[in-house]
Structure 1
């Protein structure tokens, strides 16, 4: 055999083995290696004591994911002052009781929520790599409906505030917090005009909540004076490049903000990489599933 041909075959074989190893790692380990990330957010008035927010997103819970349920339940030990979930809680019509079980100890705490498309519709089969070339923005939703109202009722019965195209306030740690939220912008369900108007600056902190962090929503919230913005949807890129990060966000947010904390004008934006995936793409690479504990502190 010619030496160059032999070298080429070895190269192809090596690449194939390495690729198979990456897929096995992404599907068998990383997708279940749940992590808690911690951030300090200097957004409170000088002299304020800290306020802790547990931010959860994109569980995409399926009936066979008992390990995820128990991990989420364990987050109650953090004793946050407020729980925020930014949607895509479940992906199967039988999962509502499981979502409520996962959140059960957290439902005893003050909380707010918005929904994502996979709180309304079951996911459809797709090739996850298509996000590398498809046009950014929402895709048509033709999947069967999920029992959304059962989940909404479960959250509401616990006293959690429904922020789907709604404003509201609640108390956490004895302090009044003001919110504005929208339904999922990724499926054009956001109606910001219904919540538009100056934020209540007499509150301890003003918070804008959305599932998908589309720029039109973030800009509107910042323009109205919301100083902390919380979102999910991106899965942190889900399939990332080590040392580089996300290649896509599945919305018009830049990839540098696919997860974590950043500035958005005068406000702070936190995007959760979430805890799940589509049931048809149960892989994560260089992007661990996560929940976040945000400690709000005095601004300097």
Structure 2
């Protein structure tokens, strides 16, 4: 091997190591705190209904000292949503409940629905990220978290716990028939407790689940729900340009890892890319942390193939428009 070849090989290795270090630094130090708001319009309401603005939050994974995240969440009240839906994984620490409640602030005074995820019940633990690819069925959970305190804080302020219950409510003149299940990622879902056709008079039939597992989505679709909201995937969290998510951390395909899609003939699905990360994997790449403002509008008689698109614009919450 010539000395010039060894020199070139060394330079290439150093360059690759430097690029990797820059990528890790960007993913952990910049993008995971580059919070964004995605705006999506979805035609799911009964014909003749007025529109409904729904703020979809998921996967806060809050630590007590995460001030940037907490301050950004407080700004979302300025969006003036009609309804807030939280699809779980709010906690990452035993002392996170006050931080979550304070960060949500005045949003807790608005109509709200919630279900919990695995990281409301149990603290995250360090794990090999390749386990999501090669050992998808293995579940590693940490110490119990104070989910009961969080539930009490939410319900005392008027939000409705949708865990294995069906409820009807009216928000901004829209009659909603809603149902939810406990976290399918931990196999805590018991869909039979909420099974059945929702009230056909309702202008919106809404399903809630933390992890968008197909077995649960199929049941919601079979029962005739218009829209199902979920989280859990983090949008893939570490994605590649022009390829997207490497994994979904559940059984849905990569094309549905975040944002809106159809599930079955008549049901729309929205999966939130989430706002946080596990403290043991504090990085995002090509997948900014986000909340979503859904504008629900009446569906036309001809079933749309996809949701409408909007151009990009910046706001105090840094908007991504789908």
Q: How many residues align?
A: 298
Partners of 1:223 and 1:136 lie apart in 2 by 26
Aligned to 1:206: 205
Contact 1:59 1:277 in 2 (8 A): yes
The Cα shift of 1:235 comes to 0.4
* CA deviation vs aligned residue, 1:231-253 (integer Å, no higher than 9, x gap): 00000000100121101011101
Contact 1:136 1:250 in 2 (8 A): yes
Partners of 2:120 and 2:138 lie apart in 1 by 15
Aligned to 1:244: 243
The Cα shift of 1:45 comes to 2.2
Aligned to 2:289: 289
Alignment of 1:1-12 (within 5 A): 1-12=2-13
Q: How much is the aligned-residue C-alpha RMSD, in angstroms?
A: 1.1
Partners of 1:255 and 1:136 lie apart in 2 by 14
Aligned to 1:174: 173
Contact 1:110 1:171 in 2 (8 A): no
Partners of 2:131 and 2:8 lie apart in 1 by 32
Aligned to 1:196: 195
2:113 corresponds to 1:112: yes
The Cα shift of 1:84 comes to 0.2
* CA deviation vs aligned residue, 1:120-152 (integer Å, no higher than 9, x gap): 111111233442x332235143x2111111100
1:7/1:130 CA distance change after superposition, 3 Å: farther
Partners of 1:218 and 1:136 lie apart in 2 by 19
Question: TM-score, normalising length from structure 2?
Answer: 0.90
Aligned to 1:61: 62
Partners of 2:163 and 2:281 lie apart in 1 by 27
Local SS of the residue matching 1:7: helix
Partners of 1:64 and 1:93 lie apart in 2 by 12
Aligned to 1:83: 84
* CA deviation vs aligned residue, 1:104-134 (integer Å, no higher than 9, x gap): 2101110000000110111111233442x33
Aligned to 2:95: 94
Partners of 1:100 and 1:201 lie apart in 2 by 35
Contact 2:174 2:204 in 1 (8 A): no
The Cα shift of 1:50 comes to 1.1
Question: TM-score, normalising length from structure 1?
Answer: 0.97
Partners of 2:192 and 2:65 lie apart in 1 by 40
Contact 1:137 1:250 in 2 (8 A): no
Contact 1:127 1:281 in 2 (8 A): no
- Which runs of no fewer than 5 residues in structure 1 stay unpaired? none
Aligned to 1:144: 143
Comparing 44-53 with 91-100, greater Cα deviation is found at 44-53
* CA deviation vs aligned residue, 1:245-292 (integer Å, no higher than 9, x gap): 101011101011110011111111000000000011110000000000
- Which runs of no fewer than 5 residues in structure 2 stay unpaired? 301-322
Aligned to 1:42: 43
Partners of 2:63 and 2:273 lie apart in 1 by 18
Local SS of the residue matching 1:168: strand
